[in-house]
Amino acid sequence: MPFLASRSAFVGTVIAVVVAALMVASGQKQALVIGVITGAGYGLVALGLVLIYKSSGVFNFAQGEFGTIAVYTLYGVHDLAGVPLLPAMLVGLAASAAMALATEQLVVRPLFSAPRVTLLVATAGVSLVAISLELWLGEARIRFIQPALGRLNRVSLFGVQVSDQRLLVLAALLMLAVLLGLFFSRTNLGLAILGVSQEPVATELMGISVRRLSSFTWALTGVLAGLAGMLTAPVVGSFAPGFLTTTALIPAFTAAVLGGMTSLPGAFVGGVVVGVAQSLAVSAPAFKDIPGPGAVMVFVLLVIVLAVRPQGLLGKAS
């Protein structure tokens, strides 16, 4: 019944508009802007989580590290070796895609028939190994990275300046959400990937190579994570081992669950909602006595969604 889905979207949109209006009316309009621009980063990571879950039913805890590897590669190639930014970014994307492919080949594929929880733990293991490698090769120190786009004052909303780098993150998130949504709904390859996730044997019998599709999906996820890392690290200004895992994975999971876990536009919406909720918690006087209000808000949001609407705002069963 498409009506249900559209009604959910409608209700979600109405709620979002009402919340936004309330924030503006109550003097929290700056928190709204800050939430949207910081939430875009979460949405970008959430896109990769949704893509993997949508195609293989795996909760990929290594997603953050695919992105962190890309940031380290970018830093090494661009900042240390002096390679121009764009080629360096391509190298970074190649590194994250390679790591994702290696994860698929060495960890996911041998365990694919195991319960999903086993795969979840396996990807968490990949994440820990990656963090150890980063500590070993990159030292346990914080490094600083400059944004590709340095202009700070092109756009100002409600008195909050939105830098070009943040606009880039927002634009990339929006564009990728739409493109991937179209990819999965309009192309044979996208539908084939969904088919593999639902019925691998039947899809194989249809002449579709499950292995190739799986590799393609994981590589694509690696590229998405790489983009997320390389675009958001300069916004934050610094990175360290485990950067994307520690700063964005939990909010991104919340965003993905909020958006419906299988909905790519939902990841975008979820990211923004999580960002706004976090920003509101940080800036609203009502929360000032709560330690770490941003993190608390993320978990409150997660619990509410799982309890009230486990399929998320825009979720459909795959």
Partner 1 sequence: MTRRSSKVACSHLSNVPGRTLDTHRSGPSLRRSARTAAIAIALLVAAACGQKANVGNDTSAAPASADQASATGGAPAAGQPEASGATGETVATSGGSSTAAPSSGSTGAGSGSAPAAAGSSSTPVSGPAAAGTRSGGGSTASGGSSAGAAGSSGGSGRTPTSATGPSAGGSGGGTAAPAPLPGPDAPGGPADRTGVTDTKIRIGIHAPITGAAPFPQNAFDKGKDVYWKFLAEKGGIFGRNVEVVFRDDQFNPSRAVQVCREMVEQEKVFVLMGAAGSEQITACARYANSMGVPYLSAGVNEDGLTGLNTYFATSQTYAQQHPALVSYIANKLKKTKLAIVLNNTPALNETQQSVTKLAQQAGLNIVRQSRVGKNASDSELLSEANALRTSGAEVVYLLTSPVNFIKLATNGQAQAYSPVYMGPGITNGLNIVAEAGCPAIGPAKFFSPFPQLDVIDNLDPDYQKSYQKFNGGKGDDIGLAEWGLSKVIGSMLQAAGKDLSRQGFLGALESGKDFTTNVYPVVSYSGSIRFGAKSAHLLEADCNTRSYKTIAQFTNGF
Q: Is 182 in the site for partner 1 (CB under 8 A)?
A: no
Instruction: Tell me which stretch binds partner 1 (CB under 8 A): 17-25, 76-84, 114-122, 174-182.
Output: 114-122
> Which three-class secondary structure state does DSSP give residue 160?
strand
Which residue's CB is nearer to partner 1, number 94 or number 318? 318
Q: Is 66 in the site for partner 1 (CB under 8 A)?
A: no
Element containing residue 157 per DSSP (H, E): strand 155-157
Among candidate residues 132, 140, 91, the one with its CA nearest the CA of residue 239: 140
Q: Which member of 71, 302, 313, 314 binds partner 1 (CB under 8 A)?
A: 302
The single residue listed with the structure tokens 């820990």 is 128
Q: Is 316 in the site for partner 1 (CB under 8 A)?
A: yes
Please give the structure tokens belonging to residue 234: 């300069």
Query: Minimal distance in Å, beta carbon 81 to partner 1?
Result: 19
Distance (Å, rounded) from C-alpha 266 to C-alpha 223?
Answer: 19
The single residue listed with the structure tokens 């990949």 is 126
Contact, 268 vs 173, CB < 8 A? yes
Please give the structure tokens belonging to residue 116: 């999903």
Q: Is 278 in the site for partner 1 (CB under 8 A)?
A: yes
Please provide residue 160's backbone torsions phi and psi, each rounded to the nearest 5 degrees.
-100, 120
Which residue's CB is nearer to partner 1, number 215 or number 311? 311
Q: Is 117 in the site for partner 1 (CB under 8 A)?
A: yes
Distance (Å, rounded) from C-alpha 59 to C-alpha 316?
Answer: 17
Distance (Å, rounded) from C-alpha 112 to C-alpha 214?
Answer: 11
Number of residues interacting with partner 1: please give it, by CB under 8 A: 68
Which residue's CB is nearer to partner 1, number 28 or number 97? 28
For the window 125-164, what string marks contact with partner 1 as x by the rule CB under 8 A? --------------xxxxxx-------xx-----xxx-x-
Query: Minimal distance in Å, beta carbon 291 to partner 1?
Result: 6
Whole-number Cα distances in Å, 184 to 4, 89, 188, 213 = 20, 26, 8, 13
> Rounded to the nearest 10 degrees, what angle do helices 250-259 and 293-308 cross at?
30
Query: Minimal distance in Å, beta carbon 197 to partner 1?
Result: 8
Q: Please give the residue ranges that form the binding site for partner 1 (CB under 8 A).
A: 1-2, 4-5, 30-31, 34-35, 37-38, 41, 53, 57, 59, 61, 116-117, 120, 124, 139-144, 152-153, 159-161, 163, 185, 191, 194-195, 198-199, 235-238, 246-247, 249-250, 253-254, 257, 261, 275, 278-279, 282-283, 291-292, 294-295, 299, 302-303, 306, 310-311, 315-318
